[in-house]
Structure 1
Amino acid sequence: MHRIDSIYGVKFLLYLFWKGLFVIRIIEHLSLLLIARLTDRKIYLYRQTENNTNE
């Protein structure tokens, strides 16, 4: 009986670990998208100011 409990415990820990990795991957993806958006905006604003000074 105790052995079955430990097997379920290990499976549960692996499940939590897998879920954790999945969540971390989603957070990384979202943060990368956010960073890309922010840098794109900065580049866009920088180009706009460059164009204004050139004219």
Structure 2
Amino acid sequence: MSAGEKAKAKAEQVVGKAVRKAAHAMGKDTTAAKGAALETRGKARETKETSKDRFGRH
């Protein structure tokens, strides 16, 4: 996995989790859902890059 893509994936996960937890604490359901979506997108990006590494495709 390229270092840039790995950093992007982790950043999306961290930011998404922070947004989700803060919005949930304030009772903002729509913003919490957006944070959860961002976190999921980061996990998907990480999974994609990991699978590319395992199958040797770049």
Alignment TM-score, normalising by the size of structure 1: 0.53
| Cα RMSD after superposing both structures | 1.8
Q: Higher helix proportion, which one?
A: 1
What are structure 2's unaligned runs of at least 5 residues?
1-25
**Percent of counterpart pairs with the same letter?**
9
What are structure 1's unaligned runs of at least 5 residues?
38-55
**Superposed structure 1 runs of 4+ greater than 3 Å apart:** none
Count how many residue pairs are aligned between Structure 1 and Structure 2. Answer: 32
Structure ID, larger Rg: 1
Greater relative CO, 1 or 2 (CA 8 Å, sep 6+): 2
Alignment TM-score, normalising by the size of structure 2: 0.50
